[in-house]
Every structure is written in structure tokens, then in C-alpha cells.
Amino acid sequence: MRRIRVMNFSWVLLLGMVFSQATAVEKDSLTLEPNEYHFKEAMLITQLLENYHFRKRPLNDSVSSVILDNFIEELDPNKSYFYQSDIDIFENFRYQLDDALRSGNVKPAFFIYNTFNERFQERMEYAKADVFNYDFDYALKETYETDRENLPWAKSEKELNDTWRMIVKSQSLNLVLSKKDKEKIPEMLEKRYDRMINMVRKYNSDDVFQLFMNTVSESYDPHTNYFSKATSENFKINMSLSLEGIGASLGTDGDYTKVARIIPAGPADKSNLLKEDDRIIGVGQGEDEAIVDVIGWRLDDVVKLIRGKKGSIVRLEILKAETGISGKPSIIQLTRDKVKLEDQAAKKEIIPVVKDGKNMTLGVIKIPSFYLDYKGYQNGDPNYKSTTKDVRRILQELKEANVDGVVVDLRNNGGGSLMEAIDLTGLFIKNGPVVQVKSSDPNRPVEVGKDTTNVEVYDGPLTVMINRFSASASEIFSGAIQDYKRGVVVGETTFGKGTVQTVVDLGRYIPENEENIGQLKLTIQKFYRVTGSSTQHMGVAPDINLPSAFSAEDFGESSNANALPWDQIAGTDYVASNKVDKQMIAELEKAYAIRLSSDKKLKELVQDTEKLQERLSNTKISLNYKEREKEREEDEKIMKSREKLSGVIDAEEIKKKDNFPVDDQYLKEGLIILANMVNRNIG
């Protein structure tokens, strides 16, 4: 029930003061105001969120409070710009943003942004002066806390100056450790800050509106987003060009450009040099052109540098996800190329192995995404491309090759077509429900996606490989295989995205300003397994866990406070195959534990993974040269060790009777588990 409250008088006075000043003073680069069409657009977005989002949550005081906190965090995530006195003023908006949005009033957001812009300019000027005024002593035992969420806001300029002294010192130390010319470091950092100033000054009213409305939409869930007209158009252009370049989708993380997704079969994917959540801090053209520092750049400007003609070379300076922002940068080289659709198709590999002295042949099916040529399918084209069609053909080829077992590899598969997830599952079960879909409309019954083929194309031993970046359709497939007890799921707990979005063109509802109006991506449905358990938030937990450095708290859906929660609905009737039972899982876990205790290289992998976990959990970075250098050396040692462990991992005493000739450490584990299943069936 919405509480009745008295209008906050100080808030009214504040708005009156701010808005009268905004109209009285001459505009400058630091002051932005909303456009007239923003008011209508804000009202429309508010109505859509309240009435059609899956959550069915009214925009009330509680949501208003979340929006305020998230908008402040979006602008100043490290508490390095605003003062406590600024936050005290913003507090007047805490329970008022809901009322303002309902009437289309976004002026509070612009007031907060303009305050940020002013503080940002102040900090950049201080940082530029700091670079030249300080002779940093890297011998001091000093640390900087990077996780500043629970730290207080600065109460004075002196406090904020000290914070920025450490920020500048850390950035300077990074350049020193990267063997940059010490005499040129101040000038390099000054240029970086100048670029950041220029980038922020390019922000216009549409940019601020998008920033705020995206904060509003993401208060409902992280996959509900607002795109301004310009961003929507750029997105369409990027989609048409996304298959030509390095094959990676990028996002922002504070001042950094972060890899959001690796496109299957693209240059980045094939190189194995760039991973999700890596940070790009520099871009260079060709084999020898200077690397351009892109820290603090707008995302679209970074994309322009990275994008280029097919066959041309781009060099990226990156910070690996495993080592974070204090890690040692590395430079990778990629050749831009056009990603061919056929390269993204499912592929097979037949691997002869020896396990416990027995010769066997195992098949691996790598599925990069759940693809479907929907237009060809709708038009009745018999040659349309789809995941299920390709995998059905591959399974027939594997059966003709008399393989003893099959691995379906869904690692890094971010999803795709729901229909394909259902149909693909149908290749491994006789028939039955695969997934349940619940709509945001309470009067609409839960839909059940079923396989009705009555044909089990492959009925032999099966393992499914998943990792933290397997999501959506991958979770539907792996969850169904697990629920039907059809195969053994191996790897890491999946991402946990169990929701469906639709894109609403807002210009249809505000035709008089259609040329300025953007789009809203809105979450409208949720996936559930046949057991009734949601894949949302929790993901799919493997039957057998392999070492992982990526925690769900940092890299999964659950890392976002506004993610839709896990829940459960009634299960649906299905008949499990029982080809995998509790006893088999227990035996496979025991065999893995024995190998873990006897296999030296596998033990080293687990130890290195634990070290990486510990490293990632440490949010304090040293500003001491020797300590930071030691940290980097240890990080590099761990990364090289993990790379070397891509060779044969079997213990010396069992090497003669066990041989798995593949370079992929984790795939090798999946093959060993599959081989144990085969031996169990033989026995």
C-alpha cells in the first residue's frame, strides 16, 4: 500500500532555486537541461514499467530510493567526485523521484548530473596539477582501497584531494611498471585527463536522459534498458556491422571499456587472447602504430578505433579479468575479419582416447550459440540453417563413426533461439516438456515448450560442458538434460539469465517527436525448468564442479542487486530417462577426487585457481613499487601456469593406460568423465 506523505518543502524550494537559476544564467558546457520531449518520454516509460514489466512493481518510494542510489553510483561509483554535502542535497530527492517521473519531470536528474559535471571538472584539473606537483614516493608502504562502496563520502576538499593523490599515484605507478619513460608519465596522464574532460563535455541532454532513464529501467532488472534515438540507431548500425571487426561486444565499467561478449567464431574467439570481462585500456592500428590510451573514453569512440577493414590489424592493450585493474597490462594483436555464419555453426571432433587401458572413440559437439535462420524457416526454405538441424546431422555422423560417447560443449554459449533449445533437447530424449515460460500477464497461463518428435536421435553416454558464461538457452538445454537424468553436466554454475525481453519502439506512442524518441527493452517473461525451478539468478549447477576463478557474486546474474529473484512454480509432468542416477554421479565424483589427489598438474590447476580467487577478492592495491611488482609477477606466473596446463594432465603413474590428446584442459576433464561413464556401461 502506498503511504501518504507531506510534500518535502525543502525539495520544492531547492527545485525552484535550481530551475530559476538555470533559466536566468547563460548556458555553458557544464549546464544541461532536459528537452521538451523528454517529459513525455519519461511518462511513457514509467507507465510501461509499471504495467508491463514482469515484476508488476509500482513505481513507489522504495523504487525511488533505489533509483537515486543507483544514479549516484552510476555517476560516481568510487565516491571520488561528490562531497557529503552534495549527497545531503540529493537526499531531498530520495522519495520524490517516483512522483516526478509520473509527471514526466526529469529535472532532478539533470540537477544531480550538472553537480557531478562540475565536480568532475574540478577533479580533473586537480589531477592534472597533481601529476606535476608531486614527486611520488613508491617506496612508501601505502595502499588504495578500490572497493569504496562502504566508505564514507569525502567531507572536505582535503579528504577528496588525498583520495585523488592515491588515484593519480596508482595510475602513475602502473605506467612506471609498464616501463614507460618516467619523464613523460606526467604528460601522458595530463593528456588522459584532458581527453576525459573533452569526452564528458561532449555529453548532451539526450545522453543525460538516457543515463537516468536507464537507471530507472534497470531498477526493475538489469536486462530492462532504455536506448536514446541516437543509441538505437548506432545499435542497428553496429548489428549490421557486428560480424566485421574483432568479433566482440563491448560495454563500460567506470572509466574502462570492458568486453561484454565474445562473438562465436570471430577473430577474438579464434585467437583465444581476449575474454569476457577483460578491460581494454589502449588501442593501436597495424603492427607498429602507437597504442592510444582509451581509459575514460566514451564507448562509441573506442568502438570506432577498434572497428576497421577486413584483413587489417588492430592491437589491444588489455587488463585480464582474472587479475583486475592492478594487473599487468598485455598487448594482443588481432586481424579484423568478417564472421561467417557458417563459422558459428555447430562443429564436431572425433577423439580416440585410452582410459584404464581400453581404447574408445569419443565425439565432441561444440555449439557456439542457439542460431536459427528465422526468415528461411518462416518461408519454408528446406535449407534454412538451425542448431538442431546441424547437430542432428553431426549425431548421425558420430553414430556412423561408432563413437562410444558424446560431449556437448556449451561453454561461453550465451543463448539464442528458445525454439532451438527445445528442439535440440528433443534429439536426446524421446519426448516431453523441456521448458516452462511464465508471462508478466497474471491471466495468461504458463506455457510449456515440448518436444513431440517421439524420436531419440542419440541415446548413448552423454556429458554437457557448461561454464559461468553459458546463459539463457544454454541453461534451458543443460537444465533439461539434468532433469531428465539423460546426461552428466560438468563444469561451472551457469550465468543465471532466465528472462525474456521485448523491444518497444517508443516513437510509435509519441509520433509528434518520433525523430527524437528512443526504445525500451523490457523484461516480460521468465523461464522455468520442468521441475518448476527457475533458471533465473541461480543458474544451472553442474553435477560435477570443475575449478573456477569466477564467482557468481562477481560474474553471474546474481552480481546485480536488481536481478529478478529465483523462484519456483508447479512442475510439469515428465518421465525421466534415468540413464544417470545418484550412484553414477557419486562414482564419477569419487573418480574425479582420486584424480585430483594423484594428478600433480590437475592439483596445480586447482591451486592456481584458488590463488586467482584470492587475488580477485583482494580489493586493496599496493602503491609500493616492489609490492605491486611482486603482485604482477605472481599474477603472470599463475596465468602462464594455467596456459601450460592445457597439455596432458594425467599423473605419471597412470599415463601409460590413460591418454586424452586434446589441448583444452577443461574439455579433457569432460572427456575423462565421459570415458568413466562409458567404462561403467561396458562393465
Question: Active-site positions?
Answer: 472, 483, 497
Closest CA relative to residue 679, chosen from 399, 351, 353: 353
d(C-alpha 601, C-alpha 320), whole Å: 23
**Which distant-in-sequence residues (6+ apart) come within 8 Å of 436 by Cβ?**
446, 447, 448, 449, 527, 528, 529, 530, 532, 569, 572
HEC secondary structure over 162-191: HHHHHHHHHHHHHHHHCCCCHHHHHHHHHH
The amino acid sitting at 303 is V
Cβ atoms of 31 and 114 closer than 8 Å: yes
The helix (run of H) or strand (run of E) holding residue 549 is: none
Q: Minimal CA–CA distance to 217: which of 520, 648, 515, 485?
A: 520
Number of H helices, E strands in the chain: 21, 21
Residue given cell 543507483 in the structure block: 70
- Tally Cβ neighbours within 10 Å of residue 310: 11
d(CA 74, CA 420): 37
- Tell the residue number behind the cell numbers 590428446, with chain if given: 661
Beta bridge partners of residue 364, listed in sequence order: 349, 407
Q: Which long-range contacts (CB under 8 A, 24 or more apart) does 157-166 make?
A: 157/83, 160/80, 160/83, 160/123, 161/126, 163/79, 163/80, 164/80, 164/123, 164/126, 164/127, 164/130, 165/130, 165/134, 166/142, 166/623
Sheet holding 358-366, edge to edge: 347-355, 358-366, 405-409, 462-466, 488-491, 544-545
Distance CA 451, CA 428 (A): 10
- Do 621 and 558 meet the contact criterion of CB atoms below 8 Å apart? no
| Bridge partners, 408 (sequence order) | 365, 464
Separation in Å, CA 429 to CA 110, 424, 450, 682 = 56, 9, 11, 22
Please name the residue ranges forming H helices in 484-519: none
C-alpha cell at 69: 542510489
Q: Would you give the DSSP letter of residue 328? A: P
What is the DSSP track for 35-82? -HHHHHHHHHHHHHHHHHSTT-----HHHHHHHHHHHHHHH-TTS-S-
Q: Choose among 175, 199, 201, 196: nearest CA to 124.
A: 196
